[in-house]
Structure 1
């Protein structure tokens, strides 16, 4: 097996990116070089493809990226290849549960052309007002007095963030209803947990295997750090994590490769790539 037979897929936040949610200049240049030489590499992220592509601007990805925790598969030029949508019944159930819990649900609507809108109800408390104020420049945001208006739209996900004690019962409720849930602590606001919900058919694991088949790769190597990476890492031939990875992730990973603050993912790939030898 040669180096071109390996497909590398990395999570972004907490794994490929540094703590300030940026890709280091060194990693950017190394990826540009290796991609130009034939490296098979892409990302799998909870971010929207718009956000991911902004961060990776200048990196010449040649494979689709996995966005929204696998709910969408998007070409490097922003063209949406596939999207897993919620049914109106699922959307209504989640909106009702989130609102009853006093949360600020964010309903992401994605049209076939990839354009996005994120609908939310008016803020109910100071935390929610601060959260929205911090995102006031996001052109996708739409405040609505009736969030139920989105149920007939192409909804990709409905997400909310609060403490584990508040979010965990909702996660269990949604899973029992057959809804896909990605539940993990926000690495930027420890103590608060994101519950990202969508079509159960959409996952990082399913998309990673889809790309492995699409590329004809003989080995799938995945990098992750958080709970929403577990399914993808279970699907990988080789699963690796960083120093900062969660305990559950480290227990699953074949190895810990270093800190995301020190470009561990790209340095690991570069070492194997530059050996230019067949891989056992």
Structure 2
């Protein structure tokens, strides 16, 4: 990578946001100055589109986003999905069949309509926006798997997430991507080849930007493909051990504005 990156890509939760899910005014100001000076800043997240407004409310201007672990590329200004890579219903059915055979007590939810809506089985434990109109329990497994989904979510009680994701990936054997972005025992499943790296690569190609010129920040295993792909990979100090192991550099923790501190150093803004 040259001295100055041509694009900045950052994960949101655990990276840009503090532990209380707020964005510090300082970090927001640094991102705004970099974007205003002409360097694209892109959010690359496991979050669905419907969760982005909570972040946009804390930014000076909404930033483009690679959502659902790379399955959705979103333009917030036009409220337009530029690209979507969902799991087809037939693939969803095969993934669910394999996981039900391999994981006792597994339950599922799906992100549909480009992640603007979520459907879940009755016994799937909801932890966040359970009361919104976009979330609904289905009446049968067949209904859950009847529409293309940009992400399939799997839970099976309390699980070590690193162990659980290996079990899921082993059961799928390349049929789909399996990763995790939290410590709650949730595994996130995307179509084969769909990762944060793939979504970001598509967006960068659209802008004519090479991966060598991309500076990327992250903290969890779902960030690994992006961090491996980017020209410069920076982990926050609170990152998962797997992320710390492959990062080119480590900045301060999310609670200490680590991304902003690193960007100030690279771009000379403050």
Q: TM-score, normalised by structure 1?
A: 0.83
1:206 to 195, 198, 205: 198
Listed one character per residue, the Cα deviations across residues 166-208 of structure 1 (whole Å, up to 9, x for unaligned) are 554233112x151121235x2xxx4x32211121132111122
Contact 1:171 1:195 in 2 (8 A): no
Q: Please state how far the C-alpha of 1:212 moved relative to its aligned partner.
A: 2.4
When residues 151 and 136 of structure 1 are mapped into structure 2, their CA distance, relative to the original with a 3 A threshold, is closer
Q: Where does residue 270 of structure 1 map in the other structure?
A: 264
Q: Where does residue 223 of structure 2 map in the other structure?
A: 229
Q: SS in structure 1 opposite 2:268?
A: helix
Q: Where does residue 73 of structure 1 map in the other structure?
A: 73
Q: SS in structure 1 opposite 2:107?
A: coil
Contact 1:105 1:121 in 2 (8 A): yes
Contact 2:15 2:236 in 1 (8 A): yes
Q: Where does residue 25 of structure 2 map in the other structure?
A: 25
Q: 1:222 & 1:133 partners in 2: Cα distance?
A: 28
The Cα RMSD (Å) is 2.4
Q: Where does residue 234 of structure 2 map in the other structure?
A: 240
1:179 to 156, 173, 176: 176
Q: Please state how far the C-alpha of 1:265 moved relative to its aligned partner.
A: 0.5
Q: 2:233 & 2:127 partners in 1: Cα distance?
A: 38
Q: SS in structure 2 opposite 1:217?
A: coil
Contact 1:99 1:105 in 2 (8 A): no
Listed one character per residue, the Cα deviations across residues 115-172 of structure 1 (whole Å, up to 9, x for unaligned) are 732111212xxxx5xx437533232111112031243312211102340355542331
Q: SS in structure 1 opposite 2:239?
A: coil
Q: Please state how far the C-alpha of 1:89 moved relative to its aligned partner.
A: 2.0
Contact 1:119 1:144 in 2 (8 A): yes
Contact 1:86 1:198 in 2 (8 A): yes
Q: TM-score, normalised by structure 2?
A: 0.86
Q: Give 5+ residue unaligned stretches, structure 2.
A: none
Contact 1:161 1:167 in 2 (8 A): no
Contact 2:88 2:147 in 1 (8 A): no
Contact 2:30 2:269 in 1 (8 A): no
Q: Please state how far the C-alpha of 1:70 moved relative to its aligned partner.
A: 0.3
Q: SS in structure 2 opposite 1:105?
A: strand
Q: Where does residue 137 of structure 2 map in the other structure?
A: 143
Contact 1:98 1:104 in 2 (8 A): no
Q: SS in structure 2 opposite 1:145?
A: coil
When residues 151 and 134 of structure 1 are mapped into structure 2, their CA distance, relative to the original with a 3 A threshold, is closer
2:39 is the alignment partner of 1:39: yes
Q: SS in structure 2 opposite 1:229?
A: helix
Q: Give 5+ residue unaligned stretches, structure 1.
A: none
Mapping of residues 45-194 of structure 1, within 5 Å: 45-57=45-57, 58-61=59-62, 64-77=64-77, 78-97=79-98, 101-110=104-113, 114=114, 116-123=116-123, 131-132=125-126, 134-162=128-156, 163-164=159-160, 168-174=166-172, 176-184=173-181, 186=182, 190=183, 192-194=184-186
Q: 1:173 & 1:210 partners in 2: Cα distance?
A: 28
Q: 1:67 & 1:9 partners in 2: Cα distance?
A: 12
